Amino acid sequence: SKWPVSSITVLPGFGVLHLKSMSSMCGIDTIAISDTTPGRQAWKEIVSKAKYKYKRLAFPDDNGANCVFVNGVVLHPSKEDYPESFKVWETLECKKIALNNSEFSKADGSLTCNSILIC
């Protein structure tokens, strides 16, 4: 395969649906990931298994780190959805669009659940 693949464990018992809920690519070399217990554990695994070196952008909320990076633009949760995580998104220097996801999140849906990526 052109792209290396490694499994990353999501700690059970913390309410995290899956890895993509608490971590997403938010740039070519940057991963948005929660700074919670499961997020920190996943980051340790990513660092130890990754073939490439990634920067970490840490978020106080698991789902606050969920985003879609497409065509150089980051679609991320709104201030209304995750006020503390929104402050972190404001520090990222790139084109960004904040999207309200409050209704979809009631069914455990995140921004990545609302997207279809076509390569």
Measured from the Cβ of residue 76, the count of other Cβ atoms closer than 10 Å reads 29
User: Does the pLDDT at position 102 exceed 70?
Assistant: no
* Helix (H/G/I), strand (E/B), else coil: 97: strand
User: Does the pLDDT at position 112 exceed 90?
Assistant: no
Contact 34, 23 (CB under 8 A): yes
Contact 35, 62 (CB under 8 A): no
Q: Does residue 113 carry a catalytic annotation? A: yes
Helices (H), 1-119: 19-22, 37-49, 83-91, 102-105
Q: Amino acid letter at 95?
A: K
CA 65 to chain CA mean position, Å: 4
Identify the active-site residue in 67, 94, 113, 119.
Answer: 113
Q: What is the pLDDT of residues 16-58, one digit of tens each?
A: 777 888 899 999 999 999 999 999 999 999 999 999 999 999 9
Q: Lowest mean pLDDT: which of 11-25, 38-52, 78-92, 93-107?
A: 93-107
Q: Does residue 94 carry a catalytic annotation? A: no
Task: From 91, 96, 94, select the one nearest 111 (Cα to Cα).
Answer: 96
